[in-house]
Amino acid sequence: MSTDRIELGGRAIGAGEKCLIVAEVAQTHDGSLGLAHSFIDAVGDAGADAVKFQTHIAAAESTPAEPFRVAFSYADATRYDYWKRIEFSADQWAGLKNHADERGLVFLSSPFSVAAVEMLHGIGMAAWKVASGEVNNPLLLEAMTSTGKPVLLSTGASGWDEIAGTVAWLTGAEVPYALLQCTSRYPTPFEAVGLNVLDELRRRFGAPVGLSDHSGTVFPALAAMARGAALVEVHVAFHKRMFGPDVPASLTLDQIALLAQARDAFHAMDSHPIDKDLAATALGHIRALFNKSLALLEPQPRGTVLMKAMLTAKKPADGIPAARVRDCVGRRLARDVPADRVLAWDDLET
Residue 147, CA distances (Å) to 118, 126, 156, 158, 205 in order: 10, 10, 24, 24, 22
User: Is 279 in a helix, a strand, or coil?
Assistant: helix
Which one of 212, 247, 270 terminates a domain?
Answer: 270
pLDDT tens, 172-198?
Answer: 999 999 999 999 888 999 999 999 999
Domain shared by 50 and 139, yes or no = yes
Domain shared by 211 and 325, yes or no = no
Dist. CA 84–CA 65, nearest whole Å:
14
Contact 85, 75 (CB under 8 A): yes
Dist. CA 57–CA 61, nearest whole Å:
6
Domain shared by 283 and 252, yes or no = no
Reference 292, options 315, 271, 260; nearest CA is 315
User: Is 274 in a helix, a strand, or coil?
Assistant: coil
Which region, left, alpha or beta, applies to residue 2 given φ > 0 means left and ψ of -120 to 50 means alpha? beta
- Specify the number of domains making up the chain: 2
Which one of 231, 248, 270 terminates a domain?
Answer: 270
Dist. CA 184–CA 192, nearest whole Å:
10
Dist. CA 339–CA 350, nearest whole Å:
21
Reference 219, options 176, 187, 171, 172; nearest CA is 187
Residue 26 β-bridge partners: 53
**Using CA of residue 199, residue 201, residue 205, residue 207, what is the dihedral sign?**
negative
Neighbours of 174 (CB within 10 A): 9
Dist. CA 225–CA 221, nearest whole Å:
6
Domain shared by 146 and 203, yes or no = yes
Dist. CA 89–CA 110, nearest whole Å:
15
Domain shared by 201 and 340, yes or no = no
Contact 191, 218 (CB under 8 A): no
Q: 61 pLDDT band (50/70/90 cuts)? A: confident
| Average pLDDT of every residue of the chain | 92
pLDDT tens, 74-132?
Answer: 777 788 888 899 899 999 999 999 999 999 999 999 999 999 999 999 999 999 999 88
> Whole-angstrom distance between the N-terminal and C-terminal Cα of the chain?
72
pLDDT tens, 313-332?
Answer: 999 999 999 999 999 999 99
**Cis peptide leading into residue 64 (ω within 30°):** no
Domain shared by 115 and 242, yes or no = yes
CATH of residue 42: 3.20.20.70
Which one of 270, 296, 314 terminates a domain?
Answer: 270
Torsion, Cα 172 173 175 180, to 10 degrees, reads: -70
Contact 1, 171 (CB under 8 A): yes
258 phi, psi to nearest 5 deg: -65, -40
For the cut 70, the answer to whether the pLDDT of residue 235 exceeds it is yes
Domain shared by 233 and 284, yes or no = no
What is the average per-residue pLDDT within 128-154?
91
Domain shared by 191 and 224, yes or no = yes
pLDDT tens, 260-314?
Answer: 999 999 999 999 998 888 877 776 777 778 899 999 999 999 999 999 999 999 9
**Which residues form the domain of 259?**
5-270
Contact 135, 158 (CB under 8 A): yes
pTM here is 0.86
CATH of residue 341: 3.90.1210.10
Domain shared by 190 and 247, yes or no = yes
pLDDT > 70: percent of the chain: 99
Q: What is the pLDDT of residue 213?
A: 95
Which region, left, alpha or beta, applies to residue 7 given φ > 0 means left and ψ of -120 to 50 means alpha? beta
Residue 51, CA distances (Å) to 27, 54, 200, 350 in order: 12, 11, 27, 74
Domain shared by 291 and 237, yes or no = no
Domain shared by 63 and 167, yes or no = yes
Domain shared by 305 and 168, yes or no = no
